[in-house]
Amino acid sequence: MSDKKVQEADTLPAWSIRGVPGDIRTATLNHAKKAGVSTGEYVTQAIREKIKNDRSGGKAVAVRGPVSMSEASAVVDMLSRLSGSGVELPSSLQKSAVSMMTKVVREVSKGTTSEQKSQTNEQASQTEGE
């Protein structure tokens, strides 16, 4: 960490995190000591590594594939609530929502939705097992 960042971190108010189990606290203290760094620096490194892994594809933010009507409805409801409470929605989020709704409309017009596809797959599995 650069000297400037250390100075900035030293001027910030103390921060505590509630709800961390005792075994996790103990493990964190032990690992920080083994690494030869402060507990705060160890936690910072761990969080940065987790964020980096999530961003690099360890956790997919967007799921591609069939969109269910219930999923689309939940997203539209959430966006409506956010918009209604005065939150300005980014244009990229608006475009994604429109794209998702277009996909659902296309599947419905074809007569297939992801719920119907999963039911069909379950029925086929049951038929094969009989």
When pLDDT is averaged across residues 53-58 and rounded to a whole number, the result is 72
Of residues 129 and 11, which shows the higher confidence score?
11
Q: What pLDDT does 36 receive?
A: 92
**Token representation of residue 111:** 């007569």
DSSP labels for 39-98?
HHHHHHHHHHHHHHHIIIIIS-SS--S---HHHHHHHHHHHHHHHHTTPPPPHHHHHHHH
To the nearest whole number, what is the mean pLDDT of the chain? 75
Query: Whole-model pTM?
Result: 0.37
When pLDDT is averaged across residues 30-56 and rounded to a whole number, the result is 87
**Token representation of residue 42:** 């160890």
When pLDDT is averaged across residues 60-83 and rounded to a whole number, the result is 74
Q: Look at residue 117 and tell me whether its pLDDT is greater than 80.
A: no
Quick one: how many helices (H) and strands (E) in the chain? 6, 0
Q: What is the pLDDT of residues 85-105, one digit of tens each?
A: 888 878 888 888 888 888 888
